[in-house]
A and B are shown apart, each in its own frame.
Chain A
Amino acid sequence: KQEVTQIPAALSVPEGENLALNCSFTDSAIYNLQWFRQDPGKGLTSLLLIQSSQREQTSGRLNASLDKSSGRSTLYIAASQPGDSATYLCAVLTGTASKLTFGTGTRLQVTL
């Protein structure tokens, strides 16, 4: 059974810092990995999707890497801003039926 872990559970950084959020998964037979952002009490917004054949994806200040063999992904946020404060979730797609397995998330706070 696939398990997804995100460490740390919470992170506080000053504005302007570059930061890395980690995601690990137990079964390397994934189709893809997605990073989502969730603001308090809201739904999920997709940030980046990395196919299993890819090593990384970039969107603006966000960059996500994928090392399938070691079961790890890292979301890098450059020049963090207070507006980046949110919970970041990673999810992996395995098996049939487009079933996503989610991590528990990292709650990020960027302070002024």
Chain B
Amino acid sequence: DGGITQSPKYLFRKEGQNVTLSCEQNLNHDAMYWYRQDPGQGLRLIYYSQIVNDFQKGDIAEGYSVSREKKESFPLTVTSAQKNPTAFYLCASSIWGSDEQYFGPGTRLTVT
């Protein structure tokens, strides 16, 4: 089955801890994206990557970091510098230059 997987589905952390969210795709897509979704708000772009070993900041990158060492994987680290980390995080991928993004099932992060 081709698709995007995100793990875990639910994640709980204490304030002050860094946490890494996993995103893997087997669609052979070049580009990958991380979005954040808060209740009553649209998705907001955190980071995106067009190719391996390259990534760009989105609209709300502060307090987050990413890496893109493999085409299939684009992990997101939520650092302790992120002031309001509790949210639903969605990963997406696309063929670079293509119009359509495909989304994973999401990870709900709760920080207390």
Contacts and interface: CB of A to CB of B under 8 A. Distances in A.
Given A42-B105, A105-B42, A97 B99 contact: no
A32 B48 contact: no
B99 A43 contact: no
B31 to A, nearest CB: 6
Contacts of B104: 43
**Which of A36, A93, A98, A100 has the largest number of chain B CB atoms within 10 A?**
A98
Interface residues of A, number: 26
Contact of B99 (A9, A32, A45, A101): A32
B90 to A, nearest CB: 6
B43 A89 contact: yes
B25 interface: no
Contacts of A36: 103
Instruction: Report the interface size class on chain B.
Output: 20 to 34
Contacts of B106: 41-43
Nearest to A9: B40
Given A43-B104, A44-B103, A98 B43 contact: no
- Chain A interface secondary structure, helix, strand, loop or mixed? strand
B90 A46 contact: no
A97 B50 contact: yes
A99 interface: yes
A104 interface: yes
Contacts of A43: 4, 6, 90, 103-106
Interface string A55-99: 000000000000000000000000000000000010101000111
25 contacts: A4-B42, A9-B40, A34-B99, A41-B106, A42-B105, A42-B106, A43-B6, A44-B92, A45-B103, A46-B101, A46-B102, A46-B103, A49-B99, A49-B100, A51-B99, A89-B42, A93-B99, A97-B48, A97-B50, A98-B48, A98-B94, A98-B97, A100-B45, A100-B101, A102-B43
Interface of B: 4, 6, 31, 35, 40-45, 48, 50, 56, 58, 88, 90, 92, 94, 96-106, 108
The 6 closest A-B CB pairs, nearest first, are: A102-B42, A44-B103, A43-B103, A102-B43, A43-B105, A104-B42
